[in-house]
Amino acid sequence: MREWNPVVKLLMPEIQEAIRRKDWETLSDVVSSWEPVEIADLLTELEPEDALTLFRLLTPELQSETLAKLDVGLQQSLLGRLPDSEVKAVLTEVKPDDRTELLEELPEELSHRILQILTPEDRQEALELLAFPENSVGRLLTPDFVAVKPEWTIAEALEHIRKNGHDAETIDMIYVVDDDGRLLDDVPIRRFILASPYERVESIMDRSVVSVPAEADQEEAARLMQKYDLVSLPVTDREGRLLGIVTIDDMVDVLQEEQTEDFTKLSAIHAPAVDLDLITRIREVPLSKLYRSRVVWLVFLLLMDLITGGIIQGFQETLAKYVVLVSFLPVLVDTAGNAGSQSATLVIRAMALGTIQMRDWLYLLGRELLVATALGLTMGLGISFMGIFRGGSTHIASVVVLTMVVNVIVGSLIGILLPFIFTKLKRDPATASTPLITTLADIIGTGIYLGIASWMLR
């Protein structure tokens, strides 16, 4: 959800009035002094025709910066109604990584049209980036960086930086490559400034560069940047040649999208049915999309819940004889589901941060067994008093206490194992969502409870 700049909110009535009067000169003067993100806020709130009119008043450079801040729906609306000449002028100014993101999000027909409009150089660059696998670092890289040779003097390197740094994404870090373009090191600009002009570049190198292959997953790049406190990360091909860099602003977007996607999965929402950039602004999502995003999992979980009903039906004789058992059923299965959800949340988060790997499953299972046993005994002690008071006998209380201990252990182990199982099946571990674990705990916990009751109360 956008946090509006107070100035934008304050001037909105005047801007709308200026649009109504067609006072384009005043509008251009006012809005052109704003930051791109503020203009994006404004365009989002305006009617489509007014947004298009205001967008066309901006300079191509400001248009490109604003376009990168807009949601894909508004990007599509604006680009789809601009003439080819204006689209070309705007996208020529867009950074390569932003242009790649735009092309992969737009409908295929519009993306194809834009590719044909671009200059041959920009088109080739866009196609090269789009050729990388989806969600790979290669889709995010920008080829606009500054590289120097190790045998150059500091003076030669600084002259090269001055000449080529204007179009670079960043010059905080300067990259050192050999004659074949292989990455040798990354050197902070500070070292160049402080070094003697007559020294060679290789004299200020430490050769401790951190890089990532272009085919690597975007989350892996984000973890590397977080681990090493990087603001930019070099991207190489399989031979170690420097292809480009990804910057921290791209990684922030990646992390936000991944967290949103994981959140939808943990809530059993079918993420592909709803654009992730709209998920936090449900006022703007069509009702049909909201329905599709939620109905799939709900139907699946409904079918699973029917199994619980079948289990209960199988123990009708026991329940008819000991009706009080029904009153304990919700708390027993819910506690198991809650324990499982806790375990799964811890594992999924650790997996996302890369602090645990698939090989750790057995170790974590053993640890969870100990913790779950302690939790189960605690919950069993807690419910024992209610078992005696409500059950009216130590027999009922024994059934309830034993079931609580077993269900908490089983629920916790389900929560630990499911993320590993989904990872083994090459599915996102976040798919082991809270509703899925709760439903499994309901089925298994109900079977355990009624099985124990039938056995102990014979």
Q: Pick the more confident residue, 266 or 32.
A: 32
Range of the domain at 65: 6-131
CATH of the domain at 212: 3.10.580.10
Backbone angles phi, psi at 181, to 5 degrees: 85, 10
pLDDT in tens, 313-350: 888 888 888 888 888 888 898 888 889 888 888 888 78
CATH of the domain at 392: 1.10.357.20
Backbone angles phi, psi at 246, to 5 degrees: -115, 145
- Checking if the pLDDT of 18 tops 90, the result is no
- 138 lies in some domain: no
- Checking if the pLDDT of 301 tops 70, the result is yes
Exposure of 56 by Cβ count < 10 A (0-12 exposed, 13-18 middle, 19+ buried)? middle
Quote the pLDDT of residue 355. Answer: 82
* pLDDT band for position 259 (cuts 50, 70, 90): low
Domain identity same for 124 and 35: yes
Domain identity same for 368 and 449: yes
The string of DSSP letters for 99-161 reads: HHHHHHHS-HHHHHHHHHHS-HHHHHHHHHHHTSPTTBGGGT-BS---EE-TTSBHHHHHHHH
- Distance of alpha carbon 97 from alpha carbon 68, whole angstroms: 10
- Distance of alpha carbon 344 from alpha carbon 434, whole angstroms: 8
Domain identity same for 302 and 359: yes
Number of domains in the chain: 3
Domain identity same for 82 and 161: no
Quote the pLDDT of residue 1. Answer: 42
CA R_g for the chain: 30
CATH of the domain at 51: 1.25.60.10
Domain identity same for 331 and 188: no
Produce one character per residue of 35-48: b if its CB has 16 or more CB atoms within 10 Å, e if not: ebbbbbbbbbebee
Global pTM?
A: 0.60
Could you tell me which of 205, 207, 191 has the C-alpha nearest to residue 158? Answer: 191
Q: How far, CA to CA in Å, does 10 sit from each of 42, 43, 184?
A: 11, 15, 52
pLDDT in tens, 131-185: 888 888 998 888 889 999 999 999 999 999 999 998 888 899 999 999 999 999 9
- 139 lies in some domain: no
Domain identity same for 171 and 216: yes
Domain identity same for 155 and 62: no
Q: Which of 107, 131, 155 is the last residue of a domain?
A: 131
Domain identity same for 373 and 248: no
Q: Pick the more confident residue, 391 or 249.
A: 249
pLDDT in tens, 36-48: 888 888 888 888 8
pLDDT in tens, 381-434: 988 888 787 767 788 889 999 999 999 999 999 989 988 988 888 777 766 567
